[in-house]
Structure 1
Amino acid sequence: MAWNEPGGGKQRDPWRDNGGGNGGGPDLDALTRRLREFFNRLFGGGGGGPGVAVVAMLLVWLAFDSVALIKAGESGVVLRFGEVARLMTPGINFKLPRPIETLYKVNVGGVRTTNAQVRMLTRDENIVLIDFNVQYLVTDPQKVLFGVRDPDGTLGQAAESAVRSVVGGSTMDTILSGQRAELITRAKQQLQATLDQYKTGLTVNALNFQNVRPPQEVKDAFDDASRALQDKQRLEEEAKAYASKVVPEARGDAATARAEAEGYKSERIARAEGDAQRFNLVQGQYRLAPEVTRKRMYLETMQEVLSQTPKIIDFSAGKNILSLPASPEVRAVVPGAAGTTVVSPETGKGGR
C-alpha cells in the first residue's frame, strides 16, 4: 500500500517515520527547523528564511576552508591571487579562504624512484644494454609545482640523457671494469646539473647501474671478449707477483755488488798508499846507504820469488848456494840434493 494511499489512517511521511509507526530515521524537517531557529536567534530573531541558511552555510564553509592540515612529510604552498605567498610546515595552519588564498600540498618526505633501460653504442663501437635506477627527493616544493610541467617525466628524460652521454664516451672495458663507479658518479653529477638548470626542485639521492650486459645477438662474442679480459688481468697479476719477487732480489744483488766494489776500491787505495809510503821509506834508506839497501832489496826480492817456484835456473854454474824453504814442490835444497832441478845457462840442461 502506498504511503499516502487513502484508508491507511493518518497520512504518513516517509522522511519522518520511514513507514514504521514511530519511525527509525532522522527527522530532516525538525533538524532544518532547529537550525533556522538557531540562526534566527543569532541574527536577532527576525526570521530571514532561506537567506539565513545561505549565510550560515557560507560561514561554515569559510571556517572549514581557512584551516589546513599538513601531514608529516608534506609541505604546503600557499598562493595568494595566483602568486606564491608562503610555505606551510606540517601541522595545523590557517589561511584566507578561497579564492583569496589557494593551498597546494606536495609530498617532500618520500623517496621517489624511476627505472629505465638504454641500448646504445660505446666509444669503441660495442652495443651495450644498461638498466639504471634513479632515487630522488623533492627539495623545493615551489619549483616542483611551477618550475616545469612534469617534474618526474623531466627527470626520467634527463637521467637517460646523462647515462647516454657518459656511456657513449667510454669504452666497453671501462664500463665492465672497476671504473663503473666513476661513470656512475659522472652521470649523477651531470643529471643533477640538468635538473638545477631546468629548476625542477628535485635532488638526486642515488643513481645505480643495476645491470650492464650485451644484447642477446652478440652475447657469445661478448663472453669471449670477457674471458680474454679476465685472462689478461690474470696474467698481469702473475707478472706483478713475479716482479715483486724478482725485483727485490735483483736490488739486493746490486747492493751486494756495490758493497764489494766499494770494499775492493778501499783495499786497493789503502794498498797503493802503503806501497807509496814504503817506497818513500826505502828511498830514504837508499840515500843513506845505497850499497847495503841495494843488496837487501835484492835478497828480499829473490827470497820472495824463489819461495814460490819449484824450478830454479842457476846462471852462476853452481857457484851460488841456494837455500829454499821446504814445500811440497820445492824441498830442502842444496847443490846436488834430491828434488831440486838446476838448469845450467850454458847447456840449458838440468841436473840433480
Structure 2
Amino acid sequence: MAWNEPGKRDPWRGNQKGPDVEETLRRLRERFGNLLGGSGGRSGGTGGILLVVLAIVLLWTVADTVTIINAQEVGVVQRFGKKNRVLGPGMSFKWPRPIETVTKVATTRVQSLDDEVVMLTMDENIVRIRFNVQYQISNAEDYLFKLRDAEGTVKEAAESAVRQVIGGSEMDHILSGEGAELVSETKKVLQQTLDSYESGLAVTEVNFQLVAPPDQVKEAFDDVTNARENKQQIENEARAYANTVVPEARGKAARIKAEAEGYSAERVALAKGDADRFELLMVQYKTAPEVTRQRLYLETMQEVLTESTKVIDTTGGRNLINLPVDRLGGALNSGGGVLLPSDEAVRAKREGSR
C-alpha cells in the first residue's frame, strides 16, 4: 500500500501529529493568487504585484493630501462628510480621501438668468416684463449645504420680486421713464428673499429688458403713448412760447412804467416850477401892479405870436413893419393871409391924427 493512502502515516513526518505547514502555505498562495488574478504557484509574480499596488496606493495617498485652490475659488473641506473648514486660494494640505474631501466653489464667477412674466398691475392692466438677473456666490458654505438648486431658487425669487414690485405700481408709472426706480426696488426685494433663504448668493445686477403691454393690446397702448408724446410736445412748445412772450411783455411793461414815472416827475416838476414862479409874480404884482400886468401881457403876446404867420399892425400905418418873408411864403401857399393896413385906412388914420 502507498504511504499516502488513507489510514497510513506520512514517513516524512514520522509519528508527529499537527498542522500541515506546506498545505497551509499552498492554500494561502492560492487565495492571494485568486485575489490578484494570478496563479497560486507563482509566488514571485504575486509579491511584485503587491508591491506595485502598495506603491500606487502610497503615491495616491501622498498626492491626495495636497490641494491647489485657484484665485477665483475657495475650497470647502468636509471630514467624513461634515463641514470642517474653508480653504483660501493657494496650495493647502488635508487628509486623503475618504477622510477629507474638498469641494471647490467659484465665488467670483458671475452667473446670469433670463426670464419673462405677464402679470397685472395695481390699476388692473396687463404688462409683459422680460428681465435679466446677474448673481454670484457670496458664501460658499451656505451655497453648498443650504441650497439645493441655485438657478431654480434665483428664478423663483426673481419672479416673486418682479411681481411684488410691478404689481404694486400703476401702468403709467411702469411705462414712464422711471424704470430705474422699479429696477432698484426689484433688486432690493430679490436680495432680501435670497438672504432669508441663507442661499449664499449675492445679486449684482437686475435689468428690465422689455416693459410692454401684451401683443393683443399693443395697438391701443401705442395710441396712448403717442397721445402722451403729443401732449408733452405741445406743452414744450407752449413753454417755449411763454418763455419768449413773457420776457417781452415784462420789458414793455417796465418801459411803459418808466416812461410814466418820468412823465409824472416832469409834470410834477413843471407844476412846482409854475407854482414857484406864480408866487414870485404875486410878490412883484403887489409891489407894482401896472408894470407887472403890462409885462405879463407883452410876454404872453410874444409867446402867442411867435409861431403865428399873420402880421397885425395896430399903429395905423405909422410904423414900418419888416415882414418875415421866409415864413410868409409857406403861409401864402397854404391859403393863409397877411393882414396889412389899406390905403384908405392909412389916410383916415393920418387925417385923424391931424
Q: Which residue does the alignment assign to 2:114?
A: 115
Where in structure 2 are the equivalents of 1:36-47 lying within 5 Å? 36=50
1:132 corresponds to which residue?
131
Quote the offset at 1:218 in angstroms. 1.8
TM-score normalized by structure 2?
Answer: 0.65
Secondary structure in 1 aligned to 2:127? strand
CA deviation digits over 1:303-328, x for unaligned, max 9? 545667999xxxxxx9xxxx999784
Deviations 1:53-89 (A, max 9, x none): 5xx7765554344222223422112345777554322
**Paired position in structure 1 for 2:7:** none
Task: State the partner residue of 1:271.
Answer: 270
Q: Does 1:253 align with 2:267?
A: no
CA radius of gyration, larger in: 2
- Paired with 1:298 and 1:30, the residues of 2 have a C-alpha distance of 166
Shift of 1:131: 0.7
Bigger helix share: 2
Q: 1:289 to 1:93 in 2, by over 3 A?
A: farther
Q: Which residue of 1 is the match for residue 47 of structure 2? A: 33
How far did residue 134 of structure 1 move? 0.7
The CA deviation at 1:215 is: 1.8
Residues 293 and 37 of structure 1, relative CA distance in 2, 3 Å threshold: same
**CA-CA distance at 1:159 after TM superposition:** 1.7
TM-score (norm 1): 0.66
Counterpart of 1:297 in structure 2 is 296
Q: 2:74 and 2:145 mapped to 1: Cα distance? A: 14
Go from structure 1 to structure 2 and tell me whether the alpha carbon gap of 1:334 and 1:113 turns closer, same or farther (over 3 Å shift): same
Question: Residue 203 of structure 1 aligns with which residue?
Answer: 202
- Deviation, 1:262, is 3.4
CA distance in 2 between counterparts of 1:333 and 1:30 reads: 171
Q: Whole-Å Cα distance in 1 between the matches of residues 110 and 86 of structure 2?
A: 20
SS of equivalent residue, structure 1 residue 116 = strand
Q: In 1, distance between residues paired with 2:260 and 2:85?
A: 86
Q: Distance in 1 between matches of 2:44 and 2:249?
A: 110
Report what 2:74 is aligned to: 75
Partner Cα separation in structure 2 for residue 94 and residue 146 of structure 1: 22
Label 1:279 to 1:185 Cα distance change in 2 as closer, same or farther (>3 A).
farther
1:1-352 equivalences under 5 Å are 33-34=47-48, 36=50, 53=54, 59-60=58-59, 62-79=61-78, 85-97=84-96, 101-301=100-300, 303-304=302-303, 328=331, 332-333=338-339
Secondary structure at 1:220 match in 2 = helix
Instruction: Give the AA of the match of 2:241.
Output: Y
Name the CA distance, whole Å, in 2 between partners of 1:209 and 1:83. Answer: 41
Query: How far apart in 1 are the matches of 2:277 and 2:51?
Result: 145
For 2:47, the aligned partner's letter is: R
CA RMSD of aligned residues (A): 4.1
- Residue 172 of structure 2 aligns to a residue whose secondary structure is helix
Distance 2:66 2:84 in 1: 16
Deviates more, 1:327-336 or 1:100-109: 327-336
Per-residue Cα deviation, 1:153-203 (whole angstroms, up to 9, x for no partner)? 332222222222222233323322322223222222332333344433322
Q: Percent identity?
A: 52
Letter in 2 for 1:33: G
User: What amino acid sits opposite 2:231 in the alignment?
Assistant: K
Mapped partners of 1:333, 1:140: distance in 2: 122
Higher mean displacement: 295-304 or 119-128: 295-304
CA distance in 2, matches of 1:172, 1:86: 50
Count of matched residue positions in the alignment of Structure 1 and Structure 2: 290
1:97 Cα deviation from its structure 2 partner: 4.1
Structure 1 residues not aligned, in runs of 5+: 1-14, 17-27, 40-52, 312-317, 338-352
* Deviation larger for 192-201 or 80-89: 80-89
Q: 1:300 to 1:72 in 2, by over 3 A?
A: same
State the AA in 1 paired with 2:234: L
Segments of 5+ residues of structure 2 without an aligned counterpart are: 1-36, 311-315, 344-354
Aligned partners of 1:30, 1:228: CA distance in 2, in Å? 97
